[in-house]
Structure 1
Amino acid sequence: MLDFLYNYLPDRFCVCTVRAFSTPSSFVNVVTRLMFKVSGSLLRDFSEVEKLQGAEKSLKKFVSDAECRVEKVLYNGLKESYPGYAFLMEEGGYIAGEESNSPTWIIDPLDGSNNFSKGIPYFSISVSLYERQDFVMGVIYDPIRDEVFWAQKGVGAFLDQYKLRLSQKRPRNYIAMALPGPRHTPDQCQHILSLFHLLPDTLFRSFGSTALHLAYVSAGRLDASIEYSTRIWDSAAGIAIIREAGGKVSHQFTGPLQALKSSDIVAGHPEIYHTLCGILPVRQS
């Protein structure tokens, strides 16, 4: 069933090669080179998941192994290029840098792992750089669509080479908004129901990848995104990209990274964001 997808993927996904990609940011250039390098093996793994459907334990281990392989390539490559930096990774946890205030790489090797395990082609690789309690750089790579969303503080936000800048005008007569996945608390369910009631002309979507939800907000494909109890590696890159694109984001990720657990996220076009802040219990930031 997935053969058609893999057979028609670009050739660069079938081998670990690096496509031409250059930005003004040396950080972004290093990160994207590593992402392209590992994308071939990740997509080969994706083409195999159908064979494991129904074998839950085997499938879970297969997906976990795929995540670990991606994370290992990113960790080793960034450690070689930036010795002394700290790391916070979904699989590997926190690894201290040479100094207590060392810049920290935040890595999510596979955001949208549930989609990946079900053969749904909607997932991403996400890397961010955290320095002086701020997300100063972020890259989100969608290997299926071969799209790179990236930003560096003071440089701007981009989709590949195209600069992203959200209009100051209200986007359209209706709102396209991403909602979080399952496992909501009763209060969170009430908040979502209130959105259905108060924003009747809204297209609600849930695609299953926090990073891509936020990337799509930065590109204007979505007008807003709400995420509940998201981990920092899911959202760090998206926060950096949305801010550089002129969007607004609220979160509770402050303080030492190793102490951070999770946060609710509200992000969007400035006007839509402020509308949501009037409905939801949001601490604006």
Structure 2
Amino acid sequence: MHPLLNIATLAARAAGGNIMHHYSRIDQLNVEQKGKNDYVSEVDREAENTIIQTIKKYYPEHHIMAEESGIKKGKKGIRGVSDIEWIIDPLDGTTNFLHQFPQFCVSIAVREKGKIMHAVIFDPVRDEMFTATRGRGAFLNNHRIRVSQQTTLENALLATGFPYKDFSYIDPYMNSLKAFMTSTAGIRRAGSAALDLAYVACGRVDGYWEFNLKPWDIAAGSLLVLESGGLATDLKGGENFLDSGNIMAANPKLFKEMAQTIAKTIPAELRR
């Protein structure tokens, strides 16, 4: 295992321990509402601090982009002197966690010179550690994973995320949802973008699409998909998804048909 990936897994597992320590005492947590349907708890902050402290112990010079304490619009992250950047979501699926709905995870990616090189997604409920290093494949608990072999939408199971904070694009999104609902075996909306991408990577779902995400939601998951033999792009088929927040991922056999459906239902100006 690459040294950076090793530290990422240590940090993710430690943060997962923080999260599960509080899982049975949700009613005792301090929870703040950052915006409409956008919550942060003391667990998010505790887990994030655990991850940052683990990274800084070994790599104090590295830059960190983190959901609660790092880069936001108009703000800088925890700036180091290195060209290596850690992209962290300490608890992807906070709303699920606060309702004790067991679908949430820790997501950590490492970007070097603008390219995602390492990825970890840890599901502490199921004790599932998804890992990837660019060019070396993707793994689940140290076992190699691959995307599914599904070839048609008709028999495909897809994952997605509904709009929940910004509803300005709800109509085009509903157009895409309707098209996929009527042409597939089913749609799942579980509430964690990172785990949705991990599930594409290991073949539990055949494809995934969503709008308006943050880099920490999808950075690690996108590399998992690529390293498991899948494709992950923005909605125009480009590589701008970390900036636009719009992403589509699937196995190569299904990807073209998904892309065609997106192109028919989503206006070009939104497919960035």
Aligned residue in 1 for 2:73 = none
Aligned residue in 2 for 1:188 = 173
SS of the residue corresponding to residue 41 of structure 2 reads helix
Question: 1:51, CA displacement in angstroms?
Answer: 5.6
Question: 1:171, CA displacement in angstroms?
Answer: 7.9
Aligned residue in 2 for 1:36 = 13
Between the aligned partners of 1:79 and 1:236, the Cα distance in structure 2 is: 20
Between the aligned partners of 2:141 and 2:246, the Cα distance in structure 1 is: 28
Question: 1:50, CA displacement in angstroms?
Answer: 4.3
Is there any run of 5+ residues in structure 1 with no aligned partner, and where? Answer: 1-23, 53-57
Q: Choose which of 265, 268, 274 in structure 1 pairs with 2:247.
A: 265
Question: 1:253, CA displacement in angstroms?
Answer: 6.2
Between the aligned partners of 1:44 and 1:119, the Cα distance in structure 2 is: 13
CA RMSD of aligned residues (A): 2.5
Aligned residue in 2 for 1:109 = 90
Q: Does 1:174 align with 2:146?
A: no
Between the aligned partners of 1:48 and 1:167, the Cα distance in structure 2 is: 38
Between the aligned partners of 2:28 and 2:41, the Cα distance in structure 1 is: 16
Q: Choose which of 32, 47, 51 in structure 2 pairs with 1:60.
A: 32
Question: 1:34, CA displacement in angstroms?
Answer: 2.0
Higher alpha-carbon deviation: 122-131 or 161-170 = 161-170
Aligned residue in 2 for 1:83 = 60
TM norm structure 1: 0.80
Q: Does 1:274 align with 2:256?
A: yes
Question: 1:169, CA displacement in angstroms?
Answer: 6.0
Aligned residue in 2 for 1:27 = 4
Which amino acid is the alignment partner of residue 153 of structure 1? R
Between the aligned partners of 1:124 and 1:222, the Cα distance in structure 2 is: 17
Between the aligned partners of 1:228 and 1:172, the Cα distance in structure 2 is: 20
Is there any run of 5+ residues in structure 2 with no aligned partner, and where? Answer: 34-38, 71-76
Which amino acid is the alignment partner of residue 103 of structure 1? I
Cα contact 1:253–1:263 (8 A) shared by 2:
no
Q: Choose which of 185, 188, 201 in structure 2 pairs with 1:218.
A: 201
Cα contact 1:249–1:267 (8 A) shared by 2:
yes
Q: Report the identity percentage.
A: 30
Inter-CA distance 117–60: structure 2 relative to 1 (3 Å threshold): farther
**Alpha-carbon deviations, 1:189-226, whole Å to 9, x = none?**
212222223x1x32100000000000000000000011
Cα contact 1:139–1:149 (8 A) shared by 2:
yes
Higher alpha-carbon deviation: 225-234 or 59-68 = 59-68
* Count, aligned residues: 249
Cα contact 1:153–1:244 (8 A) shared by 2:
yes
Question: 1:131, CA displacement in angstroms?
Answer: 1.4
Higher alpha-carbon deviation: 171-180 or 236-245 = 171-180
Aligned residue in 2 for 1:11 = none
Between the aligned partners of 1:168 and 1:122, the Cα distance in structure 2 is: 25
Between the aligned partners of 2:133 and 2:49, the Cα distance in structure 1 is: 24
Question: 1:172, CA displacement in angstroms?
Answer: 9.2
- Higher Rg of the two aligned structures: 1
Q: Choose which of 97, 117, 120 in structure 1 pairs with 2:101.
A: 120
TM norm structure 2: 0.83
